[in-house]
């Protein structure tokens, strides 16, 4: 069975289950008696164990199995979750995430066994069984929470079958099967009858049976299966199945191999005896040789097909780089389908209109096509949109870990998790947000003793708020800490030579705060593994601006700081203002434009040798795009300037252009990896006449 085709689905679903476990264990830490939470944890762990086992990831399955044992004891009321146990659980989840990372990149789970975590989990179980007294260390092995029966010899299983209500079930045999049994015995093989009983809680019976087959596939030849392997694959059986197996191995070893598979309740194995009167064929027609071989082939693993061919195929499976899938509501797909249908109708209408040569009809069809494509764009946008909670849901766990690492009491409050962003933006926003939250925890919040001294609540608060603002999404990360020490930033900047004493005299508090976004600028007195390594807010700023967004900071001494991120809803299609500078056409994203002004040339003033305008009481610097873009200036002198006012946070800049063309829906095309020296352009777009227009990057212009 080749499971590589299910790998993407496995990765996506495992991420969801691990996130669910993280969230519910955080709740369990605060509410140890919450039965709903305990049941949810057990269900997620049980499903995760089954999935990893079905995919053949034995190490991942084993660790999840031991976690499930602990969850089972908590669910049954035999154990209570305490801080020490919660820590070990989180270590287990981190190890499972590490397995998933390796699986995503290499297609296999690696070689890390995580024995220390397994031993710690088993030690908790043993401690509970012995009433809190220390016992011998538990062997870190895969075992079910049922009584320890997998360690019992196979004969014992057979002899105590009546006690456990497990017994070997008779298997009817045909003439050709009797012949195969006799031939196997002549070759010196033992012929065993095997009945495997699955736990009645088993969800994926056929997958579990496949793993049982796989566990003994290299130990012998399967002569017969009852029910047939086809029925087992289709789950057309109860919770048991039987084989006739020819093998040179012992009953004990085969029984142990089968019992090592999760969710196997019992196994009965004994020498197979041909029933009396079985010489009559059970079937009227003897199967062909090819049909006889089917039974054996059904249990072969990929690696057994042609030597190591299957194994090589798995090893060479393409490296995964994160998840590339989006879950889509069926209603959105229906809407998309309807619009594509209309698009085909519009195309047919255009073809008809061009044949008839009716100008009026042709224009009507073009307008219809324009409406459909606009709706289609909006519909595709909705399909690509993903709630931001897929990113922010992992942060409460991170704050909990920082709480313990920094020895600070803090709480994270989140709002707007349902706010949606384009999938491409979602994939990139996680790291910058994580950095800002760690910054708030480490630098922003004071120590608990200091907060008490200042009359603040002992527990610090960190807030993450997301909301939509027009064509942008705003994400604020704020805290109720000490705020940014502007004097400290000033002194550090002068000490490092970032600014001079003279420059510092004319700078505002906001100017000093903006220095924090300079490369390698940090005010940390000592390096910690949380922050202060010199790789600071400049990395966050670079990442945000690469997504077409912007970041700003503000602070009130003694009250806290706020870092505000502004992101575009999508990176694929934008509304843009088309302008002319010289003989070239350029696009300016509409979301960055505040207004368009007609400014008389005589109103342009000079401040420190820089051109500015006074627009309704606000002084705005001017940027003449002719000079920036190196295009020839018009020969005729103009009396007034066309100025496009662009904004970034609360800053404004005026761009002087030659001509306005108008608003246009713009498809962004990448400039490719070869053009990397010029940061002025965020991409290009193809106009209706086939001409290429560059899209100006307003962050760089600022």
Q: Whose CA is closest to 210, among 50, 43, 47?
A: 50
Alpha helix locations (H) across 196-238? 205-216, 229-233
What is the H or E stretch that residue 430 is in? helix 423-439
Could you tell me which residues come within 8 angstroms of residue 372 by beta carbon, excluding any fewer than 6 positions away? 339, 342, 343, 346
The DSSP call for residue 193 is E
Are the beta carbons of 560 and 483 closer than 8 angstroms?
A: yes
Could you tell me which residues come within 8 angstroms of residue 648 by beta carbon, excluding any fewer than 6 positions away? 550, 552, 592, 698, 699, 702
In terms of phi and psi (left: phi > 0; alpha: psi -120 to 50; beta: otherwise), the region of 114 is: left
CA distance 191 to 183: 10
Residue 688: other Cβ atoms inside 10 A: 6
Could you tell me which residues come within 8 angstroms of residue 122 by beta carbon, excluding any fewer than 6 positions away? 66, 69, 137, 138, 139, 140
What is the H or E stretch that residue 220 is in? strand 220-226
CA distance 69 to 46: 10
Are the beta carbons of 137 and 119 closer than 8 angstroms?
A: yes
Enumerate the β-bridge partners of residue 190.
Answer: 247
User: Which residues are the active-site residues?
Assistant: 46, 68, 439
Are the beta carbons of 408 and 441 closer than 8 angstroms?
A: yes
Tell me the C-alpha to C-alpha distance, in Å, between residue 683 and each of 501, 548, 573, 676, 699: 39, 11, 11, 11, 13
CA distance 655 to 27: 53
Could you tell me which residues come within 8 angstroms of residue 370 by beta carbon, excluding any fewer than 6 positions away? none
Q: 3-class SS at 576?
A: strand
CA distance 262 to 258: 9
Please give the structure tokens belonging to residue 29: 């830490």
Are the beta carbons of 441 and 428 closer than 8 angstroms?
A: no
């Amino acid at each position: 069975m080749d499971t590589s085709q299910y790998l993407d689905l496995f990765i996506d679903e495992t991420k969801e289950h691990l996130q669910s476990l993280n969230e519910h264990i955080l709740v369990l830490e605060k509410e140890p008696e919450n039965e709903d939470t305990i049941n949810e944890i057990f269900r997620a762990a049980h499903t995760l164990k089954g999935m990893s086992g079905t995919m053949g990831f034995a190490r991942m399955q084993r660790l999840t199995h031991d976690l499930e044992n602990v969850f089972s004891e908590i669910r049954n009321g035999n154990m209570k979750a305490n801080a020490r146990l919660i820590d070990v659980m989180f270590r287990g989840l981190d190890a499972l995430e590490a397995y998933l990372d390796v699986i995503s990149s290499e297609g296999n789970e690696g070689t890390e066994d995580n024995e220390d975590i397994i031993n710690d989990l088993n030690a908790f179980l043993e401690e509970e069984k012995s009433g809190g007294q220390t016992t011998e260390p538990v062997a870190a092995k895969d075992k079910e929470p049922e009584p320890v029966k997998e360690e019992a010899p196979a004969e014992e299983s057979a002899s105590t079958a009546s006690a456990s209500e497990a017994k070997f079930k008779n298997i009817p045999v045909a003439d050709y099967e009797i012949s195969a049994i006799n031939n196997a015995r002549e070759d010196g093989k033992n012929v065993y009858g095997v009945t495997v009983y699955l736990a009645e809680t088993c969800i994926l019976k056929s997958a579990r049976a496949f793993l049982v087959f796989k566990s003994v596939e290299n130990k012998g030849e399967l002569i017969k299966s009852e029910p047939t392997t086809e029925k087992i694959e289709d789950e057309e059986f109860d919770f048991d199945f039987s084989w006739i197996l020819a093998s040179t191995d012992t009953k004990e070893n085969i029984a142990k191999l089968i019992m090592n598979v999760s969710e196997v309740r019992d196994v009965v194995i004994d020498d197979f005896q041909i029933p009396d009167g079985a010489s009559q064929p059970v079937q009227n027609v003897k199967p062909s040789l090819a049909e006889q071989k089917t039974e054996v082939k059904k249990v072969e693993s990929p690696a057994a097909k042609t030597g190591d061919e299957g194994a090589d195929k798995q090893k060479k499976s393409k490296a995964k780089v994160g998840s590339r899938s989006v879950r889509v509501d069926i209603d959105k797909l229906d809407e998309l389908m309807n619009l594509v249908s209309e698009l085909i109708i519009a195309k047919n209408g255009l073809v008809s209109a061009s044949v008839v040569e009716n100008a009026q009809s042709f224009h009507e069809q073009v307008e219809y096509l324009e409406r459909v494509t606009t709706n289609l764009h909006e519909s595709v946008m909705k399909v690509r949109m993903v709630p931001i909670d897929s990113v922010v849901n992992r942060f409460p766990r991170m704050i909990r870990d920082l709480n313990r690492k920094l020895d600070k009491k803090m709480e994270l409050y989140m709002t707007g998790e349902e706010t949606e962003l384009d999938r491409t933006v979602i994939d990139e926003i996680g790291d910058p947000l994580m950095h800002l939250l760690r910054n708030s925890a480490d630098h922003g919040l004071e120590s608990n003793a200091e907060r008490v001294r200042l009359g603040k609540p002992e527990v610090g608060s960190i807030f993450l708020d997301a909301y939509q603002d027009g064509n942008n999404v705003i994400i604020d990360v704020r805290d109720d800490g000490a705020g940014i020490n502007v004097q400290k930033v000033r002194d550090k900047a002068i000490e490092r030579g970032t600014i001079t004493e003279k420059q510092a005299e004319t700078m505002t508090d906001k100017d000093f705060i903006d220095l924090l976004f300079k490369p390698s600028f940090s005010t940390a007195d000592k390096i910690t593994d949380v922050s202060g390594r010199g790789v600071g807010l400049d990395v966050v700023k670079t990442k945000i601006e690469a997504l077409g967004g912007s970041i700003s900071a503000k602070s009130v001494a003694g009250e806290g700081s706020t870092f505000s991120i502004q992101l575009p809803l999508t990176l694929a299609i934008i509304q843009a203002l088309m302008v002319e500078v010289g003989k070239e056409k350029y696009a300016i994203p509409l979301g960055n434009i505040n207004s368009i002004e007609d400014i008389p040339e005589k109103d342009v003033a000079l401040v420190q040798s820089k051109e500015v305008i006074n627009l309704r009481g606000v002084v705005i610097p001017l940027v003449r795009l002719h000079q920036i873009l190196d295009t020839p200036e018009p020969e005729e002198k103009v009396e007034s300037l066309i100025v496009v006012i662009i904004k970034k946070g609360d800053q404004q800049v005026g761009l002087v252009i030659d001509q306005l063309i108008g608003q246009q829906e713009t498809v962004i095309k990448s400039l490719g990896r070869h053009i990397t020296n010029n940061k002025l352009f965020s991409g290009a777009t193809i106009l209706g006449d086939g001409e290429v227009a560059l899209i100006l990057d307003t962050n760089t212009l600022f």
